[in-house]
Amino acid sequence: MPAAERVLLRPVTMGLLLQSLLLLLLGCCLHPAAAFPKGCYPSEEEGLKTFRCSNARLTEVPRDIPNDTNKLYLDSNRIPFLPRDAFRDLPLLLELDLSHNAIASVESGAFRGLAEHLHSLDLSSNRLVSISKDAFSNLKAKVNLSNNPWLCDCRLQELVRTVELVAGSSGGIVCDSSAQEEHVGKAFLQVIADTDLCNVYKKTTDIAMLVTMFGWFAMVISYLVYYVRQNQEDARRHLEYLKSLPSKQRRSEESSTISTVV
């Protein structure tokens, strides 16, 4: 090949190589990011790997969260509930922010796999009414449960005594509803300081059982009284009938009646 042609082809060859290299880099670096939900992106904050999905209009917990994430922000979305094993692939997670969602239900085992490392869990400003303490089993994180429409009952009392609340957040746990009207609108810790809701529930249950048992007992007694009276009335009528018969027939009928009674 003449030298002139080699000189002309060299820039073309270099351009093709650069283009191929650029496409390779784009394929390696940008493809994983394309798998993230719209509005979500990874970053690094204070040396911790962070994954942010704030205000991303999510309706469920994303599945493609990097498993080396230390801080996860899912706040200000539309997530309605947390299913079992929602975060099981995040063994290094330290902080989890689920505040300002529409969470009304948390399945048992939703936080399974986070017990060893998670130290901060924010569930404030959701739609939580009641959660079983089992949903937080073995969880050592400090939890924020404020600004939810709580039903103040024994279940909430057990939950609050099981988890460690974020400092200063307990005042935000307010009774939105309660079996006792005077508790509505009050801070929950103030309520349980004066009343053991689990003991009240036990007493109420015991009274209900006693009332039920008394009702059944009264029904049995009423039936027995009715049965005896009915038999007495039948016997009286039969005796009157026997008295109206001729003496010979009457004695025969009386003997038959006595035999039947015996």
Q: Can you tell me which residue has the tokens 């063994």?
A: 91
AA letter at 60: E
127 phi and psi angles, rounded to 5 deg: -120, 35
- Which mean pLDDT values do the consecutive 10-residue runs of the chain (262 residues) have? 48 51 46 70 94 97 93 98 95 97 96 92 98 91 98 96 94 95 94 89 46 58 66 68 59 53 42
Q: Please check whether residue 128 is in contact with residue 150, taking contact to mean a CB–CB distance below 8 angstroms.
A: yes
* pLDDT, position 35: 74
Q: What letter does residue 147 receive in the DSSP assignment?
A: S
Q: Is residue 262 part of a domain?
A: no
> Which uninterrupted H or E stretch holds 22?
helix 3-34
Q: What share of the chain is helix, strand, coil (3-state, %, to 5)?
A: 45, 15, 40
d(CA 66, CA 89): 9
Q: What's the pLDDT score for residue 203?
A: 43
Tell me the residue range of the domain where 205 lies: 196-232
Domain assignment present for 9: no
Q: Are residues 146 and 82 in the same domain?
A: yes
Question: Is 171 in the same domain as 208?
Answer: no
Position 217 scores a pLDDT of 55
- pLDDT score for 85: 94
pLDDT at 23: 47
Q: Are 217 and 136 part of one and the same domain? A: no
Q: Tell me, what's the pLDDT at 231?
A: 72
Q: For tokens 């190589």, what's the residue?
A: 17
Instruction: Give the total number of structural domains in the chain.
Output: 2
